[in-house]
Amino acid sequence: MTRCAIMHVDAYDEDKVLEAMRGIADATAFPDVEGKTVLVKPNILSDSYPEKAITTHPAVIKALITLLWEKGAKRILAGDSPGMQTGRFNPVNSGLRKVAEETGAEIVDFRESTRIHEVEGIRIPMTDAIDQADIVISAAKFKTHQLMSATGAVKNMFGLVPGLQKSPMHLRARTPESFARLILSIFREAHVDYAVIDAIEGMEGAGPTNGQPRHVGLLMGSENALALDKAESVIMGYRSVPIIEEAEKRFPGITDAEYPLLNPEDLIIRDYRRIPEGKKTTIRTLFLPNLLSRIGIATDGRAYPEFIHSECRHCLKCVNVCPAKALEMKGGRIHISRRECIRCYCCHEMCPFDAIKIK
């Protein structure tokens, strides 16, 4: 059976993080990387400073890369593609660039994309970097997520879709359930061999960008990313999250796991600030909600974005990323069309000034 290893790590001390990473690898089915090329995919949603808890901490990435070298990896690639990426991927603030320089890993730019994955009639561009690698490892961050409730090792692989090509995916998969299926398809196409979650400092509240850092004090790893994400959701206190629910529906037993070190049921954070769980969309209820949403009335429990104009700096990132073209700058303010808004929350995710609330 799948094994998920969870260890207490109180701070980003490099020696302690590396020791914990080795312990987690020993307690799970860590892949044989000897003589192989490995792609490490951290969560670099934006090139933000580590203390904001938006990105996988550089100490965790460094420990993982060090472990891979110790186990005989021939070549290590590390990369991501932030949602608003337009130029060269240069993760300086997040610390990934420095880690690459210190460890000898290579930064790869996911904009190089000639690979197309198709699912349910949706053409999904994906980075060619996954074809360069023998082994793929997701190095995720323990965070809430406004649309998916939580973002972990599986959702992290959405970063394989280059930059601004991500937002149109929301137009083709408008509900949390359909978007979860799309994410699962990308994850399976990526053939992820192992996953770690940096849960030393997590994010709660309005994640994955504008939440608040929350000390969790854990490092997690498993050969089964879905089981690892299930453990993450349990620790956060969720009853269910869309990606796990869809995965278990399609592949019963896929998240079953043994916990050789710590059990997530014993680690539940009762006061973790979670995303409210909305009503599920079913075939029986699909027609009326979709009809009402076209006139700007939400019936599935998911709120529309609200703009805090006093905090807005008119950077227009929200306007540029909106796949439904539901936002416009008019009269010095951002205006939203509820008729067009699909509540994908890309605007909220990309806002660098916390000027968009989901209530």
Q: What is the pLDDT of residue 115?
A: 84
Q: Do 229 and 129 share a domain, yes or no? A: yes
- pLDDT in tens for each of the 359 residues of the chain? 899 999 999 999 999 999 999 999 999 999 999 999 999 999 999 999 999 999 999 999 999 999 999 999 999 999 998 876 767 889 999 999 999 999 999 999 888 677 888 877 788 899 999 999 999 999 999 999 999 999 999 999 999 998 888 888 888 889 999 999 999 999 999 999 999 999 999 999 999 999 999 999 999 999 999 999 999 999 999 999 999 999 999 999 999 999 999 999 999 999 999 998 754 444 444 444 445 544 445 556 789 999 999 999 999 999 999 999 999 999 889 999 999 999 999 999 989 999 999 87
Instruction: Indicate if 76 and 185 belong to the same structural domain.
Output: yes
User: Are 35 and 105 members of one domain?
Assistant: yes
Which one-letter amino acid corresponds to residue 189? E
Whole-prediction pTM: 0.91
Q: How many separate domains does the chain show?
A: 2
Whether 350 and 222 share a structural domain: no
Give 81-145 as a DSSP string.
Answer: --TT--S-----TTSHHHHHHHHT-EEEETT---EEEEETTEEEEE-THHHH-SEEEEEEEEEEE
Contacts of 67 (CB under 8 A, 6+ apart): 18, 21, 22, 25
**Predicted pLDDT of residue 196:** 98
- Residue tagged 């006061």 (tokens): 271
pLDDT of 167: 86
Is beta strand 4-8 parallel, antiparallel or unpaired with respect to 212-222? antiparallel
Q: Would residue 173 count as lying in a domain?
A: yes
Q: 281, 291 in Cβ contact below 8 A?
A: no
Distances (CA, A) of 76 to 34, 40, 70, 100, 113: 11, 7, 12, 9, 19
Same domain, 320 and 173: no
Supply the DSSP symbol for 357.
Answer: E
- Residue 28 token pair: 């799970």
Domain co-membership, 146 together with 98 = yes
> Does 13 share its domain with 99?
yes
Nearest CA among 111, 317, 296, 313 for reference residue 209? 317
Q: What is the pLDDT of residue 340?
A: 94
Same domain membership, residue 307 and residue 207: no
* Residue where one domain finishes, among candidates 266, 295, 326: 266
Position 299 scores a pLDDT of 52
Identify whether 117 is part of a domain. yes
Q: Has residue 32 been placed in a domain?
A: yes
170 and 297 inside one domain:
no
Query: Does some domain include residue 218?
Result: yes
Is residue 250 located within the same domain as residue 322? no
Domain-embedded: residue 271: no
Domain with residue 78: its CATH number is 3.40.50
Q: Measure the CA–CA gap between 111 and 125, rounded to whole angstroms.
A: 10
Do 183 and 302 sit in the same domain of this protein?
A: no
The domain in which residue 326 lies consists of 283-358
